């Protein structure tokens, strides 16, 4: 039997856990004011302690629409830690106050279709290719950019932008379209076009694509951050016309949340 203190840190990436709950207001009203204050203090303490952990981030948000009331997004290296935190959050306001309505587990990951140095070199003009100094300068810039990209994909820093959108997705297999039957080079070409659409929203939308094959029901979790809902709607709508989405993508349920500090979150949830 595995030692309960044994860490479960993946070879690459961090665990990402999305948690959505309904607040059982009938159960909450059974608590007196002192008990309610103790419960809210307990949740605040858990959030504070989690955010103080190394390489760990925890977002709190109010979910828009009655799909859920309260949402958390947790990123942490150790699966043991993620599991402990999830159990603490579920019971943080007291027994039977929070009812889980949706959850999703995934891992941060690097895209398999990332641009290689050789591919980037092919895009340079002939003058740059012929001049060793210019070529090295261009490649150095490219390496720095790719290093930053890898860092943000595999070991990201989550933004404090107010609007959070989460959904899962898979690549279609069967019928007339099977993503996994396509040759790698064709998949790579399609994904480059797909990424080009996303880059048009730089500074407006930040996205985190996390892998969930073998971990949850779909193949990826997609988290989008923005300052207003228009940008979320715009990027998802535009990407629907790209062949990767139009022909091969299957989307799960969408959740929209608003990031809030805990004191405002409690007021929003009328706790």
250: closest CA among 262, 260, 264, 240?
240
Burial class (CB in 10 A: 0-12, 13-18, 19+), 257: buried
Residue 45: what pLDDT?
97
Name the catalytic one among 21, 102, 104, 167.
167
Q: Are residues 21 and 97 in the same domain?
A: yes
Residue 55 lies in a domain: yes
Residue 87 lies in a domain: yes
pLDDT category, 33, cuts 50, 70, 90?
very high
Residue 240 lies in a domain: no
Domain extent at residue 130: 112-157
Q: Are residues 27 and 91 in the same domain?
A: yes
167 an active-site residue?
yes
**How does the average pLDDT of the chain come out, rounded?**
89
Q: Are residues 94 and 147 in the same domain?
A: no
pTM, entire model = 0.86
Q: Are residues 74 and 140 in the same domain?
A: no
> In Å, what is the CA distance from 222 to each residue of 29, 50, 160, 211?
35, 23, 17, 9
Rounded Cα distance between 156 and 59, Å, is 13
Q: Are residues 103 and 127 in the same domain?
A: no
3-state secondary structure of 208: strand
The mean per-residue pLDDT over the stretch 109-118 comes to: 74
For the segment 181-225, what is each residue's pLDDT rounded down to a tens digit? 888 888 877 777 667 777 778 889 999 999 999 999 999 999 999
Residue 171 lies in a domain: no
Number of domains in the chain: 2
- CB contact at 8 A, 209 and 171: no
Q: Are residues 67 and 84 in the same domain?
A: yes
- Among residues 122, 138, 157, the one where a domain terminates is 157
**Of residues 37 and 185, more confidently modeled:** 37
Assess whether pLDDT exceeds 90 at residue 13.
yes
Lowest-confidence segment of 145-149, 231-235, 239-243 by average pLDDT: 145-149
The whole-angstrom distance between residue 203's C-alpha and the CA centroid of its chain comes to 17
> In Å, what is the CA distance from 30 to each residue of 26, 33, 37, 95?
7, 10, 13, 11
Q: Are residues 78 and 52 in the same domain?
A: yes
CATH (domain of 264): 3.30.70.1030
């Amino acid at each position: 039997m595995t030692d309960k203190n044994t860490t479960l840190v993946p070879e690459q990436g961090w665990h990402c856990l999305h948690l959505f709950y309904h607040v059982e207001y009938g159960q909450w009203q059974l608590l007196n004011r002192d008990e309610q204050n103790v419960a809210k203090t307990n949740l605040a303490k858990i959030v504070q302690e989690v955010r103080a952990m190394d390489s760990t981030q925890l977002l709190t948000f109010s979910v828009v629409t009655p799909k859920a009331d309260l949402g958390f997004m947790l990123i942490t290296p150790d699966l043991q830690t993620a599991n402990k935190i999830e159990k603490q959050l579920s019971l943080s306001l007291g027994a039977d106050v929070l009812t889980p309505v949706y959850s999703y587990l995934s891992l941060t990951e690097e895209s398999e279709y990332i641009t290689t140095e050789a591919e980037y070199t092919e895009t340079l003009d002939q003058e740059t290719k012929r001049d060793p100094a210019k070529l090295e300068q261009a490649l150095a810039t490219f390496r720095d950019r790719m290093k930053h990209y890898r860092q943000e994909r595999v070991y990201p820093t989550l933004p404090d932008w107010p609007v959070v959108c989460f959904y899962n997705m898979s690549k279609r297999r069967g019928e007339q379209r099977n993503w996994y039957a396509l040759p790698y080079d064709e998949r790579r070409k399609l994904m480059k076009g797909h990424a080009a659409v996303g880059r048009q929203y730089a500074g407006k939308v930040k996205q985190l694509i996390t892998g969930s094959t073998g971990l949850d029901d779909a193949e990826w979790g997609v988290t989008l951050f923005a300052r207003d809902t228009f940008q979320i709607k715009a990027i998802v709508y535009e990407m629907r016309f790209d062949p990767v989405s139009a022909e091969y993508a299957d989307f799960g349920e969408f959740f929209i949340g608003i990031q809030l500090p805990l004191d405002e979150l409690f007021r929003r949830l009328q706790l």
